[in-house]
Amino acid sequence: MSKRTARGLAAPISVSQNFLTCKRTIDRLLRLTSICGDDYVIEIGAGKGHITKELAKVSRAVSAYEIDPRLYGQLQKALGGADNVKLMLFDFIKASLPEHGRYKVFSNIPFSITSPIVRKLTTDGNPPQDAWLVVEKGAAKRFIGKPGETLASIAMKPFFDARIAYYFSRQDFHPTPSVDVVLLHLKKKVQPDIAFAQRERFAAFVESGSKYGLQRALTKKQITAALRLAGLPRIGESGPMLYVQWLCLFRCYQQFMPAGSNG
């Protein structure tokens, strides 16, 4: 047990971070992305700057966040010659994302704050066009909805496509992680499945339906008819409910319970 833990103090986020330092691996990852010379890229948890250096070479501009003052000092020295990199000693979770314009995200994030980061990126009023995040494999599968949908995956799917773009070896990192790690790609849908203004209502509909059953929102007859008209299987026939079933029933719910109602 560390002295910090013994005193009841939280370890700095950098302690939970596993660094990618191999230029060849980083270059391979960047070739899997759509990042190009016209792009503005945000990096979360710049760490020692190995990824930041390569992002600066392939993009127009990079904003790199680092919360650890010690690492930030190292970054300033390592990236002093990169005039298209803006370094920020700041907590990304508390930062404001760009209000306008297109941008992308590429980051090896601390695993301990994966969910808050993904939530921030995918629920902002101006989310990134693409985000590539180095995360635990188990976390990535929860966001993708494999082997089964989760509240997080269903809430995100109206607006983003999610996939695993790369599988790492644990030896790619220093220190070596105790879990399998992947590169998660989140791609913003050109045409979302529902209006962004309905995001919170859809999430509440799914959460309530999961906890208490859909018949609090729709009658059994409405549920059966909506799925039949959409050519979708009945609830139960497909096993756990599919995203397309949730989407279909939410659209039906919208017709019977328009925004502003108490239903």
Taking residues 50-67, what's their average pLDDT? Answer: 97
Residue range(s) defining the domain that contains residue 249: 196-256
- What sign for the dihedral angle of Cα 172, 175, 178, 181? negative
Confidence class for position 165, pLDDT limits 50, 70, 90: very high
Yes or no: say if 157 and 206 are a contact pair by the CB < 8 Å rule. Answer: no
> What per-residue confidence (pLDDT) applies to 259?
55
- Considering the entire predicted model, what is its pTM? 0.90
Same domain as 250, residue 126:
no
Query: Tens digits of per-residue pLDDT, 183-194?
Result: 999 999 999 999
- Asked whether residue 3 is assigned to any structural domain, the reply reads no
Query: Tens digits of per-residue pLDDT, 33-42?
Result: 999 999 999 9
The residues with which 20 forms a beta bridge, in sequence order, are: 173
Q: Two tokens at 193?
A: 């499945």
Say how far apart CA 166 and CA 147 lie, in whole Å. Answer: 18
Confidence class for position 240, pLDDT limits 50, 70, 90: confident
Same domain as 143, residue 62:
yes
| Phi, psi (degrees; rounded to nearest 5) at 136 | -60, 145
Task: Please state the domain count of the chain.
Answer: 2
Whether residue 9 has pLDDT greater than 50? no
Taking residues 191-219, what's their average pLDDT? Answer: 95
Confidence class for position 16, pLDDT limits 50, 70, 90: low
**In this structure, what CATH number is given to the domain that contains residue 36?**
3.40.50.150
Place of tokens 């949908």: 149
Q: What is the rounded (10 degree) CA torsion for 198, 138, 165, 150? A: -20
Give every CB contact of residue 251 below 8 A, 6+ residues apart in sequence.
194, 226
- Asked whether residue 245 is assigned to any structural domain, the reply reads yes
Say how far apart CA 136 and CA 203 lie, in whole Å. Answer: 24
Same domain as 234, residue 178:
no
- Asked whether residue 146 is assigned to any structural domain, the reply reads yes
Final residue belonging to a domain, choices 172, 188, 204: 188
Whether residue 220 has pLDDT greater than 50? yes
Give every CB contact of residue 164 below 8 A, 6+ residues apart in sequence.
137, 140, 144, 182, 183, 184, 185
Taking residues 201-214, what's their average pLDDT? Answer: 95
- Asked whether residue 2 is assigned to any structural domain, the reply reads no
